[in-house]
A and B are shown apart, each in its own frame.
Chain A
Amino acid sequence: DVQMTQSPSSLSASVGDRVTIACRASQTISNYLNWYQQKPGKAPKLLIYAASNLQSGVPSRFSGSGSGTDFTLTISNLQPEDFATYYCQQSYSSPDTFGQGTKLEI
């Protein structure tokens, strides 16, 4: 199975900051990498699919990059509603695996 490792596990930032979350796959996954945001008690929300494609309705301050084994999610100009937990997920090979999550805190 492909193992996904996110870093950092938690991150403190302020409104207006720019933050980057990293995700590394244990083997190459091309660009089959998705990013999700989850708030407490809610279902996850797709932000980025295929490494760099912004899901419809997601603000442009979210961006994704990378291919192969190393990927990043960048959030520019942090807004209060962005404080949440973020997960990467590979969909290159079954089982589709998630990273352990990155909690973004104020």
Chain B
Amino acid sequence: EVQLLESGGGLVQPGGSLRLSCAASGFTFSTFVMSWVRQAPGKGLEWVSGIRHSGDATYYADSVKGRFTISRDNSRNTLDLQMNSLRAEDTAVYYCAKHNGYDGLDYWGQGTLVTVSS
């Protein structure tokens, strides 16, 4: 059974940093593209960042480029999102998601809430 379990969310002050992690199991992690998607309270979905299966290419939404860094450790089956210079508008539930080979996101974690507030 595929499982994605996010951790690391919490309350952080504007300008602060936070590192999210996603522990993957139930599939061959090293062969799939992975992404982070977020959802601000009461709002729609926003794709944040993606990383190729080997980690050799990364992609970012314009809203987080230069502040967030996605990475993966295929030996530990983990996906991370380092978030720096956080802003109030980064407040959201952050989901880690697995791509299905056709770039649909076929498995999602339960999400972790990040709140940026003083």
Q: Hey, which bits of chain A sit against chain B, CB under 8 A?
A: 1, 32, 34, 36, 38, 43-46, 48-50, 53, 55, 87, 89, 91, 94-101
Contact = CB atoms under 8 A, between A and B. Distances in A.
Interface residues of B, number: 22
Nearest to B35: A96
B60 interface: yes
Contacts of B44: 87, 98-101
B59 interface: yes
B95 A43 contact: yes
Given A1-B62, A43-B109, A94-B59, A55 B104 contact: yes
Contact of A96 (B47, B102, B106, B108): B47
Contacts, number: 64
Contacts of A45: 108
Contact of B50 (A43, A44, A94, A101): A94
A106 B106 CA distance: 27
Contact of A34 (B104, B108, B109): B104
Contacts of B73: none
A95 B62 contact: yes
A101 to B, nearest CB: 5
- Ranked nearest first, the 8 interchain pairs of A and B with the lowest CB-CB distance are A49-B104, A91-B103, A43-B108, A94-B59, A34-B104, A96-B47, A98-B45, A101-B44
Nearest to A49: B104
B104 A46 contact: yes
Contacts of B50: 94, 96
Nearest to B105: A46
A53 B102 CA distance: 10
Contacts of A34: 103-105
A60 B31 CA distance: 29
8 contacts: A43-B108, A43-B111, A44-B95, A55-B106, A91-B102, A97-B47, A98-B45, A98-B46
